[in-house]
Structure 1
Amino acid sequence: MWRTEEGSTGRLIQLCVGYFAMYVITGVMVKYFLSTGMTGIEYLLYSTLGGAGIVFPVVVGLKWYRMQSNGSITWGPLTFPQEYLVILPSGVCTAVVIPTTTLMYTLPITVMVAMTLMRASVIIVSRVVDAIQIRQGILHKRVYAEENIAVALAMGAVGVHVYYGAREGKSFDFLSDAAALAIFLSYISAYAVRIYLMNYFKNTRGKGVKLDNKGFFAIEQFAATATMIVATVAI
């Protein structure tokens, strides 16, 4: 097995490959099950349950929730890591991103179009978050020209689809479909806040405090699952 260290280029490549592979499988499975007569909401329910069923044994069994913290906060009888103030809202955003991602695939568009709209929008939002945190003095890294070129290409990809979608008979028109627009705006708004919070967590580590990504992931998943359960019961 290819061993890498956290924060290394090798680890980044491993995560990218795994992310790509899982996204391909997800996109194919959504379209397959919908073609068998399953509704989008049914698939959303079962896929979410399956995801939680895999995540929880891992984060609990490996005790990823025991994170290294900058310090603790005490509210009445409760004492908890101060990072929870960032991670828990990020988990709420994740609870929006998870179902809206699946719902995007259930729209009358191809997987490629759905993925282009989502991924391109995330690239654009990520650049905005970088700009905001650089101005705030939180992020001190340089933004390279290639990153801005990627943003320009992403804006072009989204713009082309929106333009042609608005032309009658060409493709599904996002701008005239209230449900599709609501799903997409919910997805990208939640992702924007989540990306800001994730990078705030990463860029505000105290001196000598480890960047505990596994701890962040574990607590975020707890918050996301709790939010989705409450939302499901309420709805």
Structure 2
Amino acid sequence: MIIDFEYQPLLEDYKKNGDMLLGSILKILENSGNKHSDAAGDAILEGSSNGKAWVLTDWLIDVIIYPKYGDKIVARTWSEPVNNLFICTRDFEMYCNGELSVKGTTKWILLDLNTNRPCKITQEIINKYQPEDKHTYEDSKLPKLVLPESFSRETPIAIRRLDIDFNDHVHNLTYLDYALEGLPEEVFENRNFKKLRISYKMAVKSGEAIVCKYAENEGRHICCIYGKGGDLKTQIEFD
């Protein structure tokens, strides 16, 4: 099953130069995935209330060209065939005025909220999503992220109540905001990233103290979100 989601952008989705914000691109792709879940009869909120929830573990995004203010935006998504009953892959494409502008992929697990452990993805669930033999990347393995040996900058992050989603932890797109906040000023002001890689390690919950640590390595900007005890929560790499 392939889902096309036509999005009507808002002014808040753009930078002052007219380029769409990276966070808005991810938001649109995420919403197209939600449309797919609804069409498959696997409503996200309903599943969460029944004790199971889809949890995002990884993003990989390539921006071919940033959509501009006024462009017609259509997001396309589908699920790949499931080869591992504990992990599934959702792919994305975004079209700007009919031209491919963004491509990406994500990895998901189905989490038992009572045990906080992944559970098997049943054939019944797989059949609902009607996987497509179609891939945005030839290699299904995502690029491995390497932790920097040291960091040049640390930014304490205040978690707002509005950052917490229906699963009672920080929403996955909010970590991107935290990482952008941790970038040096000149990097943030001149940002025009073409590739984004996110790996979620541990959920951040309300009341936690976290810090964003930054390092630059061969032109790549690496932001790591750490908890108070030094545990890595999320690693984000901009290129």
TM-score range, shorter chain: under 0.3
TM-score by length of 2: 0.27
Q: For CA contacts below 8 A with separation 6 or more, give which structure has more relative contact order.
A: 1
Of Structure 1 and Structure 2, the greater strand share is in 2
TM-score by length of 1: 0.27
In terms of fraction of residues, the more helix-rich structure is: 1
